[in-house]
Amino acid sequence: MKRLIVLDTNLLLAAVQFRFDLSAELERIRTFDYTLATLDQCVHELEKLAQSKGKTKQEAQLALAILHHLSISTLEGRGKYADDSLLNLSNAIIATVDAQLIKKLIKLKRPYITVRQKKYLTLEGDHNL
């Protein structure tokens, strides 16, 4: 059975900022078959950032290019905010670097993927649920 991994906006931006290969890192940590997705709210956040100026604009544009290049599907968010929508995806593994969201995932005993040492992804929690 394939597991769903949902990428948060800040993880996509971290892949660009820290210059690590998101696809290769996901393959390195995987111990199961998976499908990648993100939320429409995350795509909208990136599109909005891509309209800004300077470095943020370039990073957001590259993050959007990663989504397109990896053919990552987009899920409809079911919450007022992206974090709420991510927490509502009870069977998904959330990939994020958001400390507040990670605390909530730990409290709910949910597995998550985060960045360590600015270049490695790590899978935390019981992902065999």
Residue 106 predicted with pLDDT over 80: yes
- Strands, sheet with 112-116, edge to edge from the N-terminal-most edge strand: 73-75, 34-39, 3-7, 92-95, 112-116, 120-124
- Over its C-alpha atoms, the chain yields an Rg (Å, rounded) of 14
* Model confidence band, residue 126 (pLDDT cutoffs 50, 70, 90): confident
pLDDT value at residue 31: 85
Can you say whether the dihedral through the CA atoms of 40, 28, 14, 113 is positive or negative? positive
pLDDT value at residue 129: 52
pTM for this prediction? 0.93
pLDDT value at residue 125: 86
Residue 120 predicted with pLDDT over 90: yes
Residue 65 predicted with pLDDT over 60: yes
43 in helix, strand or coil? Answer: helix
Residue-range domains of the chain with CATH: 3-124 (3.40.50.1010)
Host H or E run for residue 100: helix 99-107
- What residue type is assigned to position 100 of the chain? Q
Residue 25 predicted with pLDDT over 60: yes
